[in-house]
Structure 1
Amino acid sequence: MTRASLFPVLIAGLIAVMVAVMGATITDIGPWYRNLAQPRWAPPDATYGVAWTVIYALTALAGVTGWLAMPRWSEREWLLGLFALNGFLNILWSLLFFRLHRPDWALVEVLGLWLSVVLLIVFVWRRSMTGAVLLVPYLLWVTFAGYLNMTIVRLNGSFS
């Protein structure tokens, strides 16, 4: 691996860890969350850590693959911007759901998060099909999480 190709790997890994740590810091699985009515099919708590670890690793790899496949700096800037938007929306969802105790607001926000993943897939696909495919598990997870979020809102009524 050359020095030029090592740089995006280190940056992608660092950013993925930063987003993961910020999201984990905001996430509070305390009494409020434990008292929410959950659907029978909700995964056990341990599943989330494993799923997010895999998703962050694949997303970082997709970012590196996309970066290396983009010949122009302007494309790379767009890629960074889309990943930054996605990271912000990812953290915002945790803030709304777990810190502000507003699954109803998080449900609206998850649509933006989902669209940001779709935008990443479409943008990366233009230069790297492999990079785009690496983002599909993230899209599937956000789709599942959005459905779980919607079900929690339906089961628990108003959050005002």
Structure 2
Amino acid sequence: MIKSWMVIGGVAFLVAFASNFITPSERQWFKHLRRPRWLTFERAIPLIWTTIFISGAWSADIVWENNPGTNTTWLMMGLYLLLEVFTIAYTPVMLRFRSLRVGTIIGGTGFIICLLVTFAVLSVSVWAALLLMPYLLWSPIGTYTTWEMVKLNPQDA
């Protein structure tokens, strides 16, 4: 029997994989942007986001297992999917448009969506809501960093 965490993890992986089509010129554009001096933790960002995605999938699994298959639960799964799509869209959309402002807007929107998801799942499970805290803590840092990069790279805003 297929477990719910396998399906949730599989969907999360597929959404992440679908966004992985970034051209070398797009990568080069981002690589050459100036960064704030205080951005000393850039190498840790992939690990941070991996932790956030695992926590989010675990949160979704808790919500699903609490009341599987109901309309409300399906709606919440849709909210989790929307959150992941916005989160994953940050990099490819920002790079495609070569616009740090677009990245800032997507990052801020992701934070708002996560806040809404957190409040929605709080009534189902406190643990599911707590597992979204890493996103709520990190997302403003990433969004602020992108916003600061706008100031350092006005030609790429």
TM-score between both structures, scaled by the size of structure 1:
0.86
1:108 matches 2:105: yes
Q: Deviations over 1:41-95 (max 9, x none)?
A: 2244431221111111111100001112236701111111101211221222212
Letter in 1 for 2:58: L
The runs of at least 4 consecutive aligned structure 1 residues that moved more than 6 Å come to none
Deviation at residue 24 of structure 1 after TM alignment: 4.2
CA distance in structure 2 between the aligned counterparts of 1:25 and 1:11, rounded to whole angstroms: 23
CA distance in structure 2 between the aligned counterparts of 1:109 and 1:75, rounded to whole angstroms: 26
Q: Deviations over 1:98-152 (max 9, x none)?
A: 2321111121222211111111111111110001000100111111111111101
Count of aligned positions: 156
For the structure 1 residues 27 and 17, does the alpha-carbon distance in structure 2 shift closer, same or farther, using more than 3 Å as the test?
farther
Deviation at residue 23 of structure 1 after TM alignment: 4.0
Identify the residue that residue 13 of structure 1 maps to in structure 2: 9
In structure 2, stretches of 5+ residues that fail to align are none
Task: List aligned pairs for 1:4-153, cutoff 5 A.
Answer: 7-26=3-22, 30-70=27-67, 73-153=70-150
Whether the 8 Å contact between 1:110 and 1:142 is mirrored in structure 2 is yes
For the structure 1 residues 150 and 139, does the alpha-carbon distance in structure 2 shift closer, same or farther, using more than 3 Å as the test?
same
Whether the 8 Å contact between 1:96 and 1:103 is mirrored in structure 2 is no
SS state of the match for residue 36, structure 2? coil
CA distance in structure 2 between the aligned counterparts of 1:72 and 1:135, rounded to whole angstroms: 22
CA distance in structure 1 between the aligned counterparts of 2:135 and 2:7, rounded to whole angstroms: 19
In structure 1, stretches of 5+ residues that fail to align are none
Structural RMSD (CA)? 2.2
For the structure 1 residues 84 and 90, does the alpha-carbon distance in structure 2 shift closer, same or farther, using more than 3 Å as the test?
same
Letter in 2 for 1:15: V
Deviation at residue 33 of structure 1 after TM alignment: 1.5
For the structure 1 residues 46 and 21, does the alpha-carbon distance in structure 2 shift closer, same or farther, using more than 3 Å as the test?
farther
